[in-house]
Amino acid sequence: MNVRMWIVAGVLQVLLAWLAQPVQAADRMKIAMMDQQKVVERSVAGKRALEDLKSYSTTRQKIIDSDDQELKELEKALQDATFSEETRKEKQEQFRTKLEAYQRRIQDFNREVQDKQRGMVADFAQRIHAAAAAVAQKEGYTAVLDRGSESTVKIVIYNHPSVDLTEQIIKEFDRQNK
């Protein structure tokens, strides 16, 4: 019976030592933080992409505003009591057709802007990850976590400013994306 207890105790010691190894490895991990949104907003390529997206949206909005103005003018013309019944029906049909086209255009433009924005986000995520990996490898970090924001999932609740690599990543991102 004593021999059996010694064997169990020995196995338990080996098992505990083996389980403790990941904890020791975690002690050697060097983790940093970054803010991807700031990289996009402060980098040269990010500012340019955001400006392009804004310009793209503004152009689309001008078209929508023009269509809106045309619809208001048609609606106002429909209020004119001097039209014959036939002319009024033609104007109402014209208004209905333009209104449907206007609504489709708004949906199409919104979809286009969202698609362009999604493409930009995906592209920048890959390029930011490459810059973050380069900085992390250079500085000896095991992991870099995105801090997140109020509009996205906030992953990191607190971090000491000394482990924030955002500025270095912005510089590396600009260097890689001239």
Can you give the pLDDT at residue 157? 74
Q: What is the CATH number of the domain that holds 139?
A: 3.30.910.20
Q: Which residues contact 155 (CB under 8 A, 6 or more apart)?
A: 145, 146, 147, 148
Rounded to an integer, what distance in angstroms lies between the CA atom of residue 42 and that of residue 175?
A: 13
Can you give the pLDDT at residue 12? 43
Q: Evaluate if pTM is beyond 0.85.
A: no
pLDDT at 58 over 70: yes
Number of domains present in the structure of the chain: 1
**pLDDT class of 64 with cuts at 50, 70, 90:** very high
Query: Which is more confident, 21 or 95?
Result: 95
Can you give the pLDDT at residue 126? 94
**Average pLDDT across the chain, whole number:** 84
Is residue 101 classed as helix, strand or coil in its secondary structure? Answer: helix
Can you give the pLDDT at residue 17? 53
- Domain extent at residue 13: 2-176
Tell me: the pLDDT tens digits for 136-167?
Answer: 999 999 999 888 777 666 677 777 888 899 99
Rounded to an integer, what distance in angstroms lies between the CA atom of residue 16 and that of residue 10?
A: 10
